[in-house]
Chains A and B, each alone.
Chain A
Amino acid sequence: MAAILEVDHLSKRYGSGTSALNDVSLDINEGEIVALLGPNGAGKTTLISIICGLVVPTSGTVRVGGHDIRTDWRAARKMIGLVPQEIALEPFEKVIDCVRYTRGLYGLPPDEAYVEQLLRSLALWDKREARTRELSGGMKRRVLIAKALSHRPKVLFLDEPTAGVDVTLRREMWTVVRELRAQGVTIILTTHYLEEAEDMADRIGVINHGQLLLMRPKSELMGEFGKKRLVLDLYEPMATLPAELAERGLVLAPDGMSMIYDYDSHADRTGITRLMAELADKGVAVRDFATSQSSLEDIFMSLVEEDA
């Protein structure tokens, strides 16, 4: 698949000497959803801001659809839509006028049919004559998305799209994002909600201290870094764990009714067979068992802690 966004050795150092971004390189393919994760101040917004033209990089290059953002900036920017982190709307402006205005900024003639379709798809058509200050937080965020899509961008940046948004609205927003992807829009989102990245992204990038720690397909990442946990429920409570079982890495739950075993599912030997044999030897009766994969949050925390 062709890369629609190519970031090459991008760095940003501010006058104060702070390095916000350090030699970041990545390619993003057409039509995929990429989630950028990282703690506050990691450099996610700086990266997006440079690509969109809000911040001037110290070094490195960015190409959008083959157009360099500095030498061929008009063509590059026409391909990009940005939904910023902060809700920034003119309070006295009507919803429909906001969208028309942004479309004009992108050099496009009025297209009332498209604006209507856009507002309807974002459930804003009924509010088209409302002033933006009269809207709820969720609606304001949808207006920002409508503005960002007013010129039919190929690449859409969503900077913390669901920050401070309630659960219902967050789900609504995810639906919008999926619909956009179905229309062929490439989406790059930054988020604090790991559940969001886990649910939607094709690939996940982790940024910390201005460096891209990794960029992997979600499934690969979760498979590679994912630890599995085996929980064995017992028929009879156990007061103490036999030493032989403890040596194998088994842990007794505080209530004595279950035993827990963490293992790496990709290791050559998981140790489960020997563990089961050991349990049979000791006459431990297992009532039920369950396995679970560690979440993206666990993976993210371990990566960031390693980098700290």
Chain B
Amino acid sequence: MNWPAIKAIYWHEMSRFFRTIWQSLASPVLSTVLYFVVFGAAIGGRIQSVEGVPYGAFIVPGLMMLTVLQQSVANASFGIFFPKFSGTIYEILVSPSGWFEVTLGFVGAAATKAIMIALVILLTSFWFNGVHIAHPFWMLAFLVLTAVSFALLGFIIGLWAKNFEQLQIVPLMVITPLVFLGGAFYSASMLPPFWEGVAKLNPVLYLISGFRWSFFGLADVPVGVSLVAVSVMLVACLAIIRLIFLTGWRLRE
């Protein structure tokens, strides 16, 4: 295992984040504050509680997941796309670094950034709502697993994308709708039975449900199923990335 290469890529990516720390943090925190104001305070004032949890607090895990998913995908896809765009990818490809080491460096950094932003949002939410975390260990476990899985997905998008439009289209057209329809702002049990069944086809529902369980002990689907869902996604993404590197698709053409 080429550990210095993993470290080099990881800190190279993190230094970009720290170079623009305020822009990196301000945008997601500002949008989350707006969500808290609009959904938590304005609309939430008219919804007393969801399954016994005040609505303002109920949406916190969903909002954190929304941010983690968007940030993981965006950071990882941009992280690998930019060297492709600028041509500097050549030095990674000619170096004695394998696919797993390269992936670990980029994905590790993307997931770290997403987790840091999610934690800042959690701190912000304490200011708006008195959020209680029932299972802190599982909260962190879900946070890390989700951030890594979606960073892997973002990495695949970055490897696939040939231009900036393609880089944007998957997060916009797929990830954001899945998060909004995955129960970020409501419980699936609030939907009519047919739509509840449809919602359960959405993989993001399992992540948000598991994550919400770690906060309140409430879940739309069993926690074990959520853990299996995120683990399956993680392994599937790793397998796809390995295939891309071994065949050289969009990398060594």
Contact = CB atoms under 8 A, between A and B. Distances in A.
Interface string B86-105: 11101111111110000000
Contacts of A84: 87, 90
Contacts of A103: 8
B95 A106 contact: yes
Contacts of A52: 94
A80 B8 contact: no
B2 interface: yes
A290 B210 CA distance: 90
Chain A CB within 10 Å — which of B9, B92, B97 has the most?
A: B97
Chain A CB within 10 Å — which of B3, B5, B95, B252 has the most?
A: B95
Given A104-B5, A105-B9, A107-B96, A56 B248 contact: yes
Contacts of B90: 54, 82, 84, 88
A147 B93 CA distance: 14
B15 interface: yes
Given A54-B93, A77-B95, A101 B87 contact: no
Interface in A184-220: none
Contacts of B94: 52-54, 77, 80, 82
A53 B248 CA distance: 10
A127 interface: no
B13 to A, nearest CB: 10
Nearest to A14: B253
A289 interface: no
Nearest to A102: B91
B95 A105 contact: yes
A107 B98 CA distance: 11
Given A56-B248, A97-B15, A106 B5 contact: yes
Given A52-B94, A54-B252, A104-B9, 20 more contacts: A54-B90, A55-B252, A56-B252, A74-B96, A75-B96, A77-B94, A80-B94, A88-B86, A88-B88, A90-B86, A97-B15, A101-B12, A102-B91, A103-B8, A104-B7, A105-B4, A105-B97, A106-B96, A108-B4, A147-B91
Interface of B: 2-5, 7-9, 12, 15-16, 19, 82-83, 86-88, 90-98, 248, 252
30 contacts: A53-B252, A54-B90, A56-B248, A73-B96, A75-B96, A78-B96, A82-B91, A84-B90, A88-B86, A88-B88, A88-B90, A88-B91, A89-B88, A90-B83, A90-B88, A91-B86, A97-B15, A100-B8, A101-B8, A101-B12, A102-B91, A104-B4, A104-B7, A105-B5, A105-B9, A105-B92, A105-B95, A105-B97, A107-B5, A147-B91
The 7 tightest CB contacts between A and B, nearest first, are A104-B8, A88-B87, A105-B95, A74-B96, A77-B96, A107-B2, A52-B94
